Chain A
Amino acid sequence: MSDVSALGRSDRELLLAVRDADSGALAELYDRHAPWLTARLNHRCADADVVDQAVQDTFLAIWRKPGAYSGTGEVAAWIWGIGIRRLIDQLRRRRPRLRAEREARQVSAEDEVLLGVEHGRLAGAIDGLSPELRAVVQATVLDGLTTREAGRLLGIPTGTVKTRMARARGQMREALT
């Protein structure tokens, strides 16, 4: 489906070439996957420097361990798994500075939720969540992170991730019934 591009080599073929230290293949993978990865990580972290570093680390990780790809599933999904974890690594290293910035941003994020409910019921249910709850749903459901990883990404304890997830579930159930 999506694996084969019009330009010739599929993502899997490119990964095999990367295994043989073909840097041209890595460049091709980068051209295909760096744009969406950058955009998606931008939605997780507003600091462009952090995102850029995570994107660079991701492609270096692919360069060094292309064999880590299991051979099944979308290559893009595998890359996302690396990317989000590299972002978490970066965030952990820089956490103290970022936390202050996040707190400064919080107000505008809360304004945003007031614009919420406008689409269908499910969309409304998601949009109706507070930014804190939505971030937890996003990290665990959409990003496929474990509770612990989600906690690291968001800078909150694991227990808080669990309680927020439970609260989000309850709130969405209520909105849908």
Chain B
Amino acid sequence: MTWHADAATVEGYQAGELSAAQTASVEAHLPACGACRTLLAAAADRDRLARNWSAVAARLDERSVTPVERALRRLGMGEGHARLVTMTPAARSNWLLALVALVALAGGMSVLNPGRDAGTFYAFLVLAPLLPVAGVAAAFGSVGDPARELAASTPKPAFELLLVRTLAAVAATMVFTAAIAFPVFGGWDAAAWLLPALGLTAASLALSTWVPAHRAATVLGAAWVVAAAASGQVNRLDPDVLRRFVALEPAGQVAFAALAAAGTAVFLLRRRTLDLGRCT
């Protein structure tokens, strides 16, 4: 390096008194030259630097904010809510990965069996609604929840807590499922899982005002699988197996839409009966 900034140049730079060309020279030079940086440091405002350092030092132990949490806060969610959502097991990567793997399995099977094998498609339509229901269970379940102590001691009403976490889990799983369903299976009947998913989720929420949330979700999920398996077994020789499962027919879809509305209404009406004791 042949060119170096002299003391007067550094001082002028600090004060912002150099011409644009001189400023540009100093700035192009600084990143590459430790000596000139040291020269500049000697002329810097000590108090200001010390103030900023203590601000940095005070925050060194702070938990770093994850990108998801930051995005939620940017969307207008309060800091507390954003923290709750991201600490929900459903939003944690290992949990989510397991679910995605489940859906990917159904998708993968269909890729191996091109021509949209009816059995695979059926399996997918039955499995997909389970994901948001599992989200409800996990939203308040004690299994795999690192924020359990926090949740149990929070002064926030249990209702709000369960709602926020459920919405987060349901939204996350549904987005993933939809993202897989349409490209892989195509056609609008690939959306047939959507209303059963909403209906079962709302029903689980409603049921969770009587029994613990994870039990509500397990019971409803099991009932759904048993019904689907029974229907599939009875009609296994029928090439149009889909049409034979009442839940995937128009009438069944309407019924699940009604169930979604009713479940939500019950949950909202009975929200006062929710308390943390029942949900663990």
Interface string of A1-43 (1 = CB under 8 A from B): 1111100000000000000000100110011111110111011
The CA of A118 and the CA of B38, in the complex, are separated in Å by 29
With most chain A CB atoms within 10 A of its CB, the pick from B21, B22, B64 is B21
Q: Are B19's CB and A116's CB within 8 A?
A: yes
Which B residues touch A26, using CB under 8 A? 56, 60
B20 contacts the other chain (Cβ, under 8 Å)? yes
Q: Are A35's CB and B41's CB within 8 A?
A: yes
The CA of A1 and the CA of B32, in the complex, are separated in Å by 8
Which B residues touch A1, using CB under 8 A? 1, 32-34
Given contacts A30-B53, A35-B37, A129-B20, contact A63 B60 (CB under 8 A): yes
The DSSP consensus for interface residues of chain A is helix
Contact of B37 among A32, A42, A134 (CB under 8 A): A32
Which B residues touch A123, using CB under 8 A? 19, 21-22
Which residues of B are interface residues toward A (Cβ below 8 A)? Answer: 1, 13-14, 16, 19-24, 27-28, 30-35, 37-38, 40-41, 44-45, 48-49, 51-53, 55-57, 59-60, 62, 64
Interchain residue pairs with CB less than 8 A apart (14)? A33-B37, A34-B52, A35-B49, A38-B48, A38-B49, A39-B40, A40-B27, A52-B48, A56-B59, A64-B64, A77-B31, A126-B24, A127-B21, A142-B27
The CA of A23 and the CA of B33, in the complex, are separated in Å by 25
The CA of A176 and the CA of B270, in the complex, are separated in Å by 78
Shortest beta-carbon distance from B60 to chain A in Å:
6
The CA of A74 and the CA of B1, in the complex, are separated in Å by 14
Q: What total of chain A residues lie within 8 Å of the partner, measured CB to CB? A: 44
Q: Are A2's CB and B52's CB within 8 A?
A: no
Q: Are A76's CB and B49's CB within 8 A?
A: no
A119 contacts the other chain (Cβ, under 8 Å)? yes
Which A residues touch B55, using CB under 8 A? 52, 56
Given contacts A27-B53, A35-B44, A56-B52, contact A126 B20 (CB under 8 A): yes
Shortest beta-carbon distance from A61 to chain B in Å:
9
A165 contacts the other chain (Cβ, under 8 Å)? no
